[in-house]
Structures are given as C-alpha cells and as structure tokens.
Chains A and B, each alone.
Chain A
Amino acid sequence: MEDPDFLDSAFIYLLAAVVAVPLFKRLGLGSILGYLMAGMVIGPWGAGLIRDVDSILKFSELGIALLMFLIGLELKPSTLWKLRRQLLGLGTIQVGVSTLVIAGLVYWSGVPPLLSLAVGMALALSSTPIALQTLEERGQMKTDVGEASFSVLLFQDLSIIPILAIVPLMGQESSATGSILLTELKVVGVFVFFIVSSRFLLRPLFRYIAMTGLREVFTSFSLFLVVGSGLLTELAGVSMALGTFMAGVLLADSEYRHELELNIEPFKGLLMGLFFIAVGMSVNIGLFLAGPIEILLLVLALFVAKGAVLLVLARFAGFTRADQVFFALLIAPAGEFAFVLISILTAASLMPEPVGAKLLVVASMSMLLAPLTISARDLIVRRMMDGETRETDVQSDQGHVIIAGFGRFGQIVGRLMLSLKIPAIIVDNNPNHIDTLHKFGFKVFYGDITRPDLLQAAGAKDARLLVLAMDDPAAVLAAAETASKYYPKLTKLARASTRVDVMNLKSAGVAHVRRETFGSALEIGEAALRELGFPAHVAHRTAGRFRRYDEMAIEEAYKFRDDEAAVIDFAKRSRKELENLMGHDVATTINQDKGW
C-alpha cells in the first residue's frame, strides 16, 4: 500500500464491501461470501483494481488477531479448562487423521512421501475466520457445535507451532527437536509474562488510562494491547492469533472486559472484512479457468476427505444429523494457513512452483465454496424440517440482572442480588469505585451504560432486568432512553433524584422508579412517629399511607408536566389535599377509643 494509492484503495475496498455485503446478506448467503465475491471482482484476476494482494492479506491478518482476542475475552481460563478434553480429543484426531488421509491421497497420486505429508498438514487445517465468523453471525458460538468447532480450531492454531518448526527442516537431515524445544521455551516465557503482567501491570494501567476519561486513548490502548501481545508471540515463533487469544483469555476476568470488547469490535469487523476481501482477491481465476474440472474435483476430494473424518467425530460427539453436516462443512475447507505453508514450501523449493500454485487455487476455492455449501445445507435442513420444529439451537445466556452504577445506592441492590446468587453484571464508570470494590471482592466492569454498545456487551438482549443506580440523574435518564430504544422489552428499574426525574423516567418506559432519598427519609419519619407515641404498627401503616398519597400526587402532577403554572398550582392544592387525607385517617384510626 503506497501512500498516494492508500485512499484510492481504501475507497475501493469500502465501496466493494458496501455494495456486495448487504446484497449477499439479503440473498441469505451470509456476509462472508459477499466479501469474498467483492474481493474477486476488484482483485488482480477480476477488474484488477488492486494488485498488491499479499501485503493486504498480511495486514488484514490483524483482523484475525482481533477476532481471537475477542473470543478469548469471552472465555475465562476456567471455561477454557473445561474445554480441554474436546480440545485435545477432537483436535488431535481431526488434525492427525485428516493430515494422514490427505497425505495418503496425495502420495497415491505419485508425490514423494515427505512432500505428501507437508501438503496433508497444509490442507488439514481450516479457516478459523470463516468458521468463527459464520458461527458468530448465526449466534451459535455457545452451542455444542460452536464449542466443538472452536476447540478444533484452537487446537489447529496450537499445532501450527510444531508444523512450522518441522516443515523447513524437511529438506535437511538435521533433527528438529532442538528448535521446537527452543520455540516452546520462548512461548512459555511469553505466556508467563502475559499472566504476570495481566495481574500486576495491566490493572493499574487501565485505571490510569480510564481516569483520563478520554475514550480515544482507551481505544488506542486497547488496540496497542492486542497488537503488542500479537507481536510478542510472533517474536516467540507462534502465530499472532494464538497470542492475542491468550491475552484475551487472561483479560476475561478483568473489569475492563466490556469496554475492551466495545473498542475492538468495530476494528475487528472492518479488518475481518478486509481479510475476506483479500482471500477473494487471491483466488487465481486464470489458473482455475485453465482446468476448472480438475480444480473442482480436487476441492471435492478435499471436502470429502476432511468431511468424512469430521462426520465420524461429530457422530461420536453426539450431534444431530443436521449438526453433524454443519460441523463438517464448517471445518472442512482449507484455511489461510495453507497459503502460508505452501508459500514456505515453494520458497524453499521443496515444492514445484506449478503444484504450489494449483494447491493455492484449491485452498482458496474451498474457502470460497464453504459459505455456499453451508447455505445449501441450511436450505436442505429447512426443507426437511419444514416448520415441524422451530430452530432451537440459539442458546441465550441465562437471564441475568444488569446493575449500572455501583455506588452507595447500587451496592445495596447488588448485594441483595448477589446474596441470592442471582447472576448479575455490574457496570460502573468510576475507576476509583471499581478499585475499592475489588478489594471487597466484587466483580465490577468499567463502562458507560448510556452507550448502546455497552448495553449490548453487558448482554442486554438476554438480561432479565436493568437496574439504573448511577449518581447522575441525567445519565440515568439517558441510559433509560437508550435502553428503551434498543431493548424495548427489557424491564428497567431506576433511581430518581427529584419528583421531576420520576416523571421523566416513567415516560422513558422505566417500570419501577424510586426516589433515592424518599424511602430512608420516610423511615426516619416513621421512627419519629414511634417516638411521639404512635404504636409501631400504626406508625408503619401511616408512613405507608403517606407514601401512597405522595406517589399518587406525582402521577397526578405528571399530567401537568408541560405547564409550569399548573404544576405549581397543583403542588399547592395537593399539599392541602394530603393534609386533609392524613388528617381524616388520623381521626378515624388513631384518635378513636372505641375498639375492643
């Protein structure tokens, strides 16, 4: 990307994406195919608007790093630990058996054994971005298929380490163990550094940056963190994606998780799009057209070989028939790693140039076809089900309570929920608060609840309740309005400061509004009545009655909200009315000595 061309290229990418993606989405083919097609059209084999595919591909790999970071953020170390059996079981079988099957086929066609093995490894791995993006788009990340796919993909990312260490050595006779050991030592070193710094370095840094209150600095820092962790692991000889994933996992417990998610998400989306465009651009259509049947047959062979292994695995995992096929189609296509490995092999002249070129076409075609096959599978499944059962595979998180603002007010609400083990997500935007609360063992996220994307990150879609308990009445109102706009079905409870706030919040769709001082002031009033000689229960009832009349008066006043003179007039009248009502109650229930 030369400087003068940069804006031109950017313009072309953006235009292609904006034109193609909505179109494909509307056709029900998913956004990925849209990007891929857009890439093919603008790429060197299409209109030739963009030529420098390799550097774009390299740059857009940052998108994968961001994607893996975000996935890591969703996975706590403990969740990851729970996946270990799937990871090792499904992962080793998929990678091992697929490699052997593909290598066997290649060897059978007359390729030397070592090279066959290398091709097997290159094609056995899958496309993490295509699979994960597909899962995410369908909201199936947390389903069984989603978890199994993710486990396999993660294992593949791990297996890249030894593969990359072995392959260059294939031509030579020397043993590879020394270099693997060194790499692994480096990796362990980097991870130890991650763990230590995530505990002791990042929290104060986040705090320091959050204190500035400048959103763009926080964004910069978020990106810096991802890029930095990626570069560090790459330095150690592991893929960037794996490093950012680990960084994500280590920050999954952090109170800044939601804010990180929000800041990285748009970049990830853009760069992933760019990545898919780049893949589309790299499909060598010229070579494909020179022998389309042969290429398609090879792609088919790849799908069949990998698919067969995956179907067996899915069967053992106990998936339904439809899910088995979905899982197979998701993992079967070759991945971007094939590009890397094939280039290494050809560069080291371990693989003849024409074979490498052909394999690249096969790999990119398989990636191109992946979204199409999945769409086809959907169509068939839908036909077969034919409305007899609804789609149930979208699992929402269990309904939780979101508490925004964890100061003196929110803490009381929060402690009540936590004491009953009601799942609650607590959000506060005061770094000082968060620090103190941490010392007391509360889990609080940093963020500004008035932003719709933070609401989304806090799981507003699946939440049962949203409690707005912030100090700032304006923020409470803003958050209530935002929540009503984006999540009209979410039940909202809010803390109000004044009577005017009560009215505004009610009209913003808040189900339960309470004035922050009213309850405790009334309790003092009740205690005063007791001291004045009222029986306890009578004092309690009287205070309750007062509350009822007062709240009625607010509702009444709400009707005059636009007319200030009427409001003042009403306030005067209602005070008189309150005196009359309470006076009457006292006369009938208190100053009477006619009971038994």
Chain B
Amino acid sequence: MATAAPNRGWYKRNEIAITPWLFLLPAMIFFAVYVIIPIGQSFWISLHEWDGLGDKTWVGTANYERLLGWGDANIDRKFETSFWNNIKWLVLYLLAIPAGLFIALFLNQTVTGIRFYKSMFFFPFVISQVVVGLVFSWFYLPREGLLNAVLGFFGAGPVNILGDPTLATYGIIAAGLWPQTAYCMILYLTGLNAVDPEQVEAARLDGAKGHKMLWYVILPQLKPATFIAFVVTIIGALRSFDLISVMTNGGPFGSTRVLSFYMFEESLSEFGFRMGFGAAIAVVLFFIMLGFIAYFLYSMYRDEKGAH
C-alpha cells in the first residue's frame, strides 16, 4: 500500500510523457525484430559464406568481388543481366503514370454508369500478381492465346513472347503495367475530383484549353497524386518478383531475371543454399533503392515541416 501510492503519483505526474512510449512499444518491437534488425543482419551475412544451416564462414568482400567483378574477377554475367533488366523495369514501369492519367482524363465525366466503368477499369489492381501473371502467360500462348488470335486477325504474328529472350522481359513488364496503370488511374481520378473549379473557369476565360490547360493549370494541381504515383511505381518496379517467377521463372536462358529474382534463386537454390551470396545481391538492390527512399523521405519531410 505504502509503495503503491507514490508509484501511482509518479505515473500520474508523468502520464503525458510515458503514455506515447507505452502505445508505441508493441509496434516498435515487431518492427525492430522483423524489419530493422534484419537489414543489419543481411549486411553481416553478405560478408560470409553460409548454407543457412551450419556455421558461417567469413569471406570478407569476396561475394561482392564475385558479383561486381572487382579485382581480377569478371562481372557476374547473371548479375549483369539482372541489373539491366531492373533498369528496363524502372524506366518502362513509369509509363503507368501517363497511361493512368490518360485513362483518368477519359473517365472523368458524369455520364450514366460511369461509376461502373471506373470500378471495372480499376479492379485489375486488386487481383494478385500471381493470377495476373498466369492470365497474361495464357494470353501470350502461341497457339491458344488470344493475343495471337487478334494479331492473326490483323495479318500479323504469331509471336511467342515469353519464349523469345529478346521479348520476354517486355512481355512481363506489359503484364505488370496492367494493374499499375489502374493504380495510377485511381490516384489521378481522386486528384481530378479535387481540382479547383474556379481556377479552371478562370483559365477558360483566359482562353486556355486542351493540352495547355492540362499542362499549366491541371497538372500543377495534381502534383500530390503524381508524387504518390511515382513512389508506388518505383517501389513496384523494384519489387517485381511474382510476375517473373510465375510467367518465365527467370527464363528463357535467364533473360528475364531481375535482382530480386536472382537473389531468391541463389539463396534457396536447388544446388544448396547460398545465403551469403544472396544477401550480397540483396544489399546491392537495397542501395539502388536507397537513393529513391532518401528522395521520398526528403520530400515527405519537407511537407511535414511546411505543415507547421
């Protein structure tokens, strides 16, 4: 009894200071154990050779030397292919942003049934990437696929997109663009909804229309939507794994590998787990991402400061 009273008094006095930490604790523990600490561990593991079971053997930067071709080693061929495929993904995936804007502009009308159309255009985003991958690999099938049927109707084709090393990556990116465009579209539809009608009317009176109106009046107001579209598209491009795994499994002849897929393949390879080498690939991917993450965080930090 005697100890309970002052305890309670101390808590009461410091309630405002302590409460936030109590509320934060569970989330912080989970996040630290499963996200923050593993990032550091991956760096550590990447300096070792490890099969995931036995002891780790320290190899220093040997994994990186092998990967990047430092010293007398040649650059790892699979790594090179994966890296350039990642660049293709990054660049082409950004097409989702103008494509999404285009569809959003097309659908931003108030005719009957337009809500239905908006939902139907959006809903590919809700389908899992695994199913999107399957749907597109059947769509591309040389014999049974609808794509070649359509091409045949116009007198072109047939093409075996996923069987052709020069085309396969583009075929997968096209499949990825389908849900990603839907996502960007919904961001822009929301943004367009909030465009200030007075500014639009004022610009109209000044004689602005068409693409001039879009470029000088509408797009500046859509900036927050564009920022989010950019963030989610970059992240999506660098996370591409499901589609590649389902559609080509890295083939044909390893031509569709990207870093995230190559890392998975090496770490859980059928010929023994090479976790150290896999972790090194992951670290490289992490550094590529870090540039973007820093930019995203900086933009968000600026907004946060501006809000006060």
The reply to whether chain A is a binding partner of chain B is no
Q: Which A positions have Cβ atoms within 8 angstroms of B?
A: none
